[in-house]
Structure 1
Amino acid sequence: MKRSEMKKKPRKLWLKIPLIIILLLGVGIGVYAVSVYNNAKTTVNEKMHEPVNSIEREVVKKKVKATEPLNILLLGVDARAGDRGRSDALMVLSLDPTSDSMQLVSIPRDTRTTIIGKGFDDKINHAYAYGGVDMSVATVENFLDIELDHYVRMNMEGLEELVDELGTISVNNEIAWNDGTYDFGIGPVEMGGDKTMHFVRMRKQDPNGDFGRTTRQRQVIQGIVEQGASVGSITKIDSMLAILGNNMATSLDFADMKKLLTGYKDTRKNFVSYQMTGSGTNIDGIYYFIVPDEEIAKVHGMINEVNS
């Protein structure tokens, strides 16, 4: 697995950089943070940048330079002490700068598919436990028959810290429930970090089960995108970079992020999300989510359309 002196040039002191973030257990997408140039460059290149063998870096560099459409795998990882963890959220983010559009496709974590590098079928989120980001990238590419250009991995514990640093995020809640700690009413809900984690983790009280949870994950991602893009307090810069540096890894380096700012920043204007469909079943006493071939072909077409 791989990965200016500002005082002399005050006009370059601040630089907005897009940091595509995996939201929660499940995931996720992008957040814009204002940062001190040198500090941001050091944090991204030395703490967050982790290249992987399954992504051909030089090929992708050319695509980013030419401002071509990109596919980015978002991994939301719930890692425990002494355990690599599993990718509780898998999403494919497609950016099309020609039409200023962004598409986010959620892959149910229990989806049964071939784990590339292992040669047997298992839940797609187990690929990360078996072989980290490299195996996750290869498995998702094989599952959807697509090419991934970048990945972003976020530890969900860092998500809570990030939301707290942003202050709060707001989402439009679709069902009412109480989990013993918080009341979630229907309509706009403002949340800090801990409440956000309760919001995205709830599943048993949702009639749509894991589908409902992934919907909430996408809502939180949008909330972070909007709040992150509007944050202008210089006092938050260092602390946000520290949180991201400790909890986020990506194949994007600082130069890639600067290019995303200039060439892809308007893609957030037209945001579309989609949840892959299928049905649950038990095989040898283990629950799996089966996505039919027709649905896989449909999503393959959706992603290819963005990239055409």
Structure 2
Amino acid sequence: MSENDAPTRSNRQPPKKNHSLFKIILLLVSIVIFLIGIFTYKLYLHAGNTVTDMHTPIGKTSKKIAQKKPFSILLLGADTGADGRKYKGNSDTIIVATVNPTKNRVKLVSVPRDTLAELIGAKPRNMQKINAAYNYGGTKMAAKSVGQLLDVPIDYYMTINMSALKTIVNDVGGIDVNIPFSFTSVWTGGQKFKKGMHHLNGTQALAYSRMRHEDPHGDYGRQLRQQQVIQAVLKKAMQPKILLKYEDITRDLAKNMRTDLTFADLKTLTIDYRNTAGNIKSDQLQGQDAWINDSSYQVASTKELNRVSSKIRHELGLSSEKVDNAEVYQNELNPYFDGTNNQLFYISNDFTTTMAQ
């Protein structure tokens, strides 16, 4: 081609705008994917380190999550840190949660903290309020005692300090709850709560979860509110924008929570059990007022123990069994007890109701 044949500026072909635009879009998408990749990798590493910090086995590790089977997990809310406490404290929140991937369902069963139960592993044989098991023998004794009380397997556990609840709620940006009645929480800070849907910050959520004196249903009403708060936190935690707060959340969880769930378990839960979080059902073990050795207790009837046991076992795909434990034995020794007017309930001499020092 001669110099005269070379195309002039005026007759050159214009650049292909679509092609250039496509390159720009591709570049932007690549940058976004790259940034998301970095964030995800960082989240993955950070979450792994966090779970390592929280991971505290208390016995043989269950394989049910890895096998994608229904499983149970004991949720313990210890009163350590609340009201300035520094000692281990009792587990004032006791919930047996069952997770069933086939039915896409989570079931929360609250156990009243004052329920009479044998502390499994105590020497000599000892019956106390069930919340004392955590203080007396740690999570291991608490898990064994709850499992024996209800005749159900406890596959995993998760313990969190109640004082950390306000931090976690603040980390997720607060929660929305439907408050069933108006009250002033005199014993937990004097906060005022009005009936209806409200947005609660961490301090309010903690007070709302702990109040029981102003509740007409006492500890049973508190159990329902605690389940309500748990569901609200889970709902908020499922929102994509919470990923932006992952460092705060994982840091606070590492400081305040212990569990025998592994990082692999949590990854499997995220992938294979994620649909269960949208279907949460609640239940309670109902007790009867009793007076035992100058202290107020809740005594669960044998019929009630069997009802709750059957419910939990059904969620786990297990057949029902007749509950046969120390509580049933004590019930048989008190045939006329019906829970009215804080009746006396007698414990056989086979057990002590005094904690060993």
Fold shared per TM-score above 0.5? yes
Note if 1:303 corresponds to 2:324: no
Shift of residue 235 of structure 1?
A: 3.7
Note if 1:169 corresponds to 2:175: yes
Q: Distance in 2 between matches of 1:238 and 1:176?
A: 36
Comparing both structures, which one devotes a greater share of its residues to strand? Answer: 1
Structure 2 equivalent of residue 157 of structure 1: 163
Structure 2 equivalent of residue 26 of structure 1: none
Structure 2 equivalent of residue 75 of structure 1: 76
Q: Distance in 1 between matches of 2:36 and 2:239?
A: 22
Note if 1:42 corresponds to 2:43: no
Shift of residue 182 of structure 1?
A: 2.8
Report the count of equivalent residues. 277
Structure 1 equivalent of residue 106 of structure 2: 102
Structure 2 equivalent of residue 222 of structure 1: 231
TM-score by length of 1: 0.86
Q: Distance in 1 between matches of 2:197 and 2:35?
A: 43
Note if 1:240 corresponds to 2:246: no
Q: Distance in 2 between matches of 1:9 and 1:234?
A: 14
Letter in 2 for 1:14: T
Q: Distance in 1 between matches of 2:191 and 2:126?
A: 41
Shift of residue 10 of structure 1?
A: 5.9
Note if 1:91 corresponds to 2:95: yes
Query: Unmatched 5+ residue regions in structure 2?
Result: 1-32, 318-357
Aligned to 1:50, the other structure's residue is in SS state: coil
Does structure 2 conserve the Cα–Cα contact (< 8 Å) formed by 1:105 and 1:275?
yes
Q: Report matched runs for 1:217-296 at 5 Å.
A: 217-296=226-305
Superposed CA deviations along residues 52-103 of structure 1, whole A, max 9, x for unmatched, are 02xx21xx22x22221000000000111455111101000000000010110
Letter in 2 for 1:79: T
The structure-2 alpha-carbon separation of the partners of 1:231 and 1:192, relative to structure 1 and needing over 3 Å to count, comes to farther
The structure-2 alpha-carbon separation of the partners of 1:179 and 1:89, relative to structure 1 and needing over 3 Å to count, comes to closer
Query: Unmatched 5+ residue regions in structure 1?
Result: 1-6, 16-34
Does structure 2 conserve the Cα–Cα contact (< 8 Å) formed by 1:12 and 1:37?
no
Q: Distance in 2 between matches of 1:64 and 1:165?
A: 27
Superposed CA deviations along residues 202-221 of structure 1, whole A, max 9, x for unmatched, are 21111111111111111111
Does structure 2 conserve the Cα–Cα contact (< 8 Å) formed by 1:65 and 1:259?
yes
Shift of residue 14 of structure 1?
A: 2.0
Does structure 2 conserve the Cα–Cα contact (< 8 Å) formed by 1:166 and 1:231?
no
Aligned to 1:163, the other structure's residue is in SS state: helix
The structure-2 alpha-carbon separation of the partners of 1:252 and 1:12, relative to structure 1 and needing over 3 Å to count, comes to farther
Q: Distance in 1 between matches of 2:127 and 2:75?
A: 22
Which protein, 1 or 2, shows the higher relative CO under an 8 Å CA cutoff with sep ≥ 6?
1
Q: Which runs of 4+ in 1 moved over 3 A?
A: 7-13
Aligned to 1:36, the other structure's residue is in SS state: helix
Aligned to 2:273, the other structure's residue is in SS state: helix
The alignment yields a C-alpha RMSD, in angstroms, of: 1.8
Shift of residue 9 of structure 1?
A: 10
Q: Distance in 2 between matches of 1:93 and 1:224?
A: 15
The structure-2 alpha-carbon separation of the partners of 1:185 and 1:39, relative to structure 1 and needing over 3 Å to count, comes to same
